[in-house]
Homo-oligomer: A and B are copies of this chain.
Amino acid sequence: MSAETENPAAPGKTSLEDLKASEAVTPSSKVAHFSAENPLKLDSGIELAPWQIAYETYGVLNADKTNAIVICHALTGDQYVASTNPVTGKPGWWGLMVGPGKPIDTNHYFVICANVLGGCLGTTGPATLNPSTGTPYGLDLPVITIRDMVRAQARLVDHLGIETLFAVVGGSMGGMQVLQWAASYPERVFAAVPIAAAARHTSQNIAFHEVGRQAIMADPNWRSGNYIQEGVRPTKGLAVARMAAHVTYMSDESLHQKFGRNLQDRDNLTFGFDADFQIESYLRHQGMTFVDRFDANSYLYVTRAMDYFDLAQEFGGSLPNAFKDTKTRFCVMSFTSDWLFPTSESRSVVRALNAAAANVSFVEIESDRGHDSFLLDVPEMFETIQGFITGAARARNLPAPGEEH
């Protein structure tokens, strides 16, 4: 692997001084700061303070403050759902879903997307400077849960003066947050759209995450999490973690269709360990580009949050209890070829919602592109969300796209 390049200690930056000016600490996006007097109480029992949450907004909040939609991002996502990511220079990660005239139409809705707690794009995370030392938290940051991420978002929504969200939408880990939002703040969520998600992380998924974490921790440049202070970065370990994860985001079919056994820029096997096959070259590229935009310790924290997620356990072992008396309308979505968050997990959520007599619709979408489908151009997903959002807007007495104001 040729990931030996001097990659920055935090995305875009390298030394401790540079870190302070980096997107991890001083993001280009909006930021809500919470002082030492406004701590965030975490599931670990620790009160985090001061802390900050970096976010972007799109569209205009209406006078009644009833048209706000929170988008929750997945493992390595960020707040730049529909605008350029300042680290990569690439367009927003869900530009097909969110924007003017898009299924989540920013001409009509006020969209909020925040970087998750434990992330590395400006919300408090392991690269944040620990106020008691002046150096990055590293592993001294308390372990974060999905509920902690949602608590932080709720504080942001408070800060924005919004009482009730019109909708909360997200895929994968974002879908976990959607479920947690609905369970923790039922009166604040009018509509909820968990996509390709689950109410708990399975043993197999914990296993894949553990492989990634061990790959990072096996890198001697990880330095027990203190790599920023020591001026190095565990890029090789992080790249391996990303490669392992990336395989799980695609389906066997999509890999077969996209790459098959095709060779990379050669006519014959080379009888060596270079990337003979396109899939190898593709994976190496995925690993190498990932380390330029993501922080290794954040990867540990955010995967751990997913592992810890088990919504039923929070409600006495009963998932229906998590949604008791809910008035939220749910639209649950899964993809046929997603083996990481398979339809069976979404069905469990739907069963629990039905047991709680919730208003729920469920769509399993035909797609051969695996877990990544929620990020891709899958028309049936867009149509489903557009339809659901429009119906929910009518029920909420909001003018839906195409209707008179």
Contact = CB atoms under 8 A, between A and B. Distances in A.
Given A203-B277, A204-B247, A214 B284 contact: yes
A114 B394 CA distance: 71
Contact of A255 (B202, B215, B239, B247): B202
A99 to B, nearest CB: 33
A284 to B, nearest CB: 7
A300 interface: yes
Copies in the complex: 2
B300 A211 contact: no
A207 interface: yes
Contacts of A307: 276-277
A71 B16 CA distance: 58
B214 A260 contact: no
B259 A213 contact: no
A208 to B, nearest CB: 6
Given A255-B207, A272-B143, A273-B304, A214 B202 contact: no
Q: Is the interface of A mostly helix, strand, loop or mixed?
A: helix
Interface in A172-202: 200-202
A203 B259 contact: yes
A163 interface: no
Nearest to A344: B252
Interface stretch (A61-69, A217-225, A322-330): A217-225
A364 interface: no
The 7 A-B pairs of least Cβ separation, nearest first, read A218-B236, A143-B271, A203-B255, A44-B271, A207-B247, A203-B259, A210-B280
Nearest to A207: B247
A73 to B, nearest CB: 22
Contacts of A259: 203
Contacts of A250: 204
A256 interface: yes
Nearest to A270: B143
B217 A218 contact: no
A142 B256 CA distance: 28
A139 interface: yes
